Amino acid sequence: DVKVTQSSRYLVKRTGEKVFLECVQDMDHENMFWYRQDPGLGLRLIYFSYDVKMKEKGDIPEGYSVSREKKERFSLILESASTNQTSMYLCASSLQAPNQPQHFGDGTRLSIL
């Protein structure tokens, strides 16, 4: 089974802090994704990566950056956390083929105070 592991299930940070969310997958997937999930808005793509050191902006990249130095690891960075970034963050990975589904981590519930 594919395992996508997010480093924290719950995280509380303060406004202005730099926040790192880590995601690791164990199935050699080329694609990795970061989503934000908010009630009534579904999942919105922040960034995705189709290869090491490659990244593409999604629908809501403002205030976020990403890093993919190794194939199995995809990090989401909140440069200067703000209260409107309080949300559930989901990481996913998939093979680089259109009929392949995404595999998700458990999610990180991030609160910015």
Instruction: Write phi, then psi, for 112 (nearest 5 degrees).
Output: -110, 120
Alpha-carbon distance values, 90 to 55, 94, 112 (Å): 17, 14, 17
The region of 14-22, 28-36, 60-68, 70-78 touching other proteins under the rule CB under 8 A is: 28-36
The answer to whether 63 contacts other proteins (rule: CB under 8 A) is no
The answer to whether 93 contacts other proteins (rule: CB under 8 A) is no
> Quick one: which of 24, 25, 33, 55 contacts other proteins (CB under 8 A)?
33
The answer to whether 62 contacts other proteins (rule: CB under 8 A) is no
- Residues in a beta bridge with 13: 112
Neighbouring CB atoms inside 10 A of 112's CB total: 19
Region label for 59, one of left (φ > 0), alpha (ψ between -120 and 50) or beta (otherwise): alpha
> Quick one: which of 19, 46, 81, 90 contacts other proteins (CB under 8 A)?
90
Q: Where along the sequence are the contacts to other proteins (CB under 8 A)?
A: 31, 33, 35, 40-45, 48, 50, 56, 58-59, 90, 92, 94-102, 104-107
